[in-house]
């Protein structure tokens, strides 16, 4: 299933299985890929790709030109700025911030509640 939305439609589907394409959208659950300029979802199983991504829980990958924001991520965040409460995986960007990290941060600024390290931060 491919969902294509325009900004003026302001459609917010409950669940998407497959590919969610458009300029901007928000939905509760995505199993598949969300590709938008600005993405929003409560639960992602798969990939969220766009200019700016926001999600509650991610099992997969967030790739954002500007950045990524998630409450919990199991997988990877790749973007200029990556923010998450809980990371189980990897963050790659200029600025990486996680309250609770079990994984790796690679970037200029890597911050967790426990420490700040430039270039690389590893916590398990």
Could you tell me the residue ranges of all domains in the chain?
2-123
pLDDT digits 0-9 by tens, 59-117: 999 999 999 999 999 999 999 999 999 999 999 999 999 999 999 999 999 999 999 99
For the chain, where are the alpha helices, taking DSSP H only? none
Q: Six-digit token pair at 111?
A: 């911050």
pLDDT at 47: 96
N-to-C CA span, the chain = 38
Instruction: Round to whole Å and give the CA distance between 88 and 104.
Output: 9
Cα 16 to Cα 44, 55, 57, 85, distances in angstroms: 10, 14, 15, 25
pLDDT at 87: 98
pLDDT at 27: 83
Helix (H) or strand (E) holding 77: strand 24-92
- Contact (CB, 8 A) for 111 and 94: no
pLDDT at 12: 55
Q: Evaluate if pTM is beyond 0.75.
A: yes
pLDDT at 96: 98
pLDDT at 7: 40
């Amino acid at each position: 299933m491919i969902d294509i939305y325009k900004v003026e439609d302001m459609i917010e589907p409950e669940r998407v299985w497959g590919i969610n394409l458009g300029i901007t959208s928000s939905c509760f659950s995505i199993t598949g890929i969300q590709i938008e300029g600005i993405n929003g979802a409560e639960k992602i199983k798969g990939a969220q790709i766009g200019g700016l991504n926001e999600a509650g829980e991610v099992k997969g990958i967030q790739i954002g030109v500007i950045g990524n924001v998630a409450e919990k991520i199991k997988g990877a965040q790749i973007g200029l700025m990556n923010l998450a409460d809980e990371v189980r995986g990897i963050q790659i960007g200029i600025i990486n911030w996680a309250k609770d990290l079990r994984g790796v941060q690679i970037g200029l600024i890597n911050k967790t509640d426990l420490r700040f390290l430039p270039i690389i931060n590893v916590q398990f």
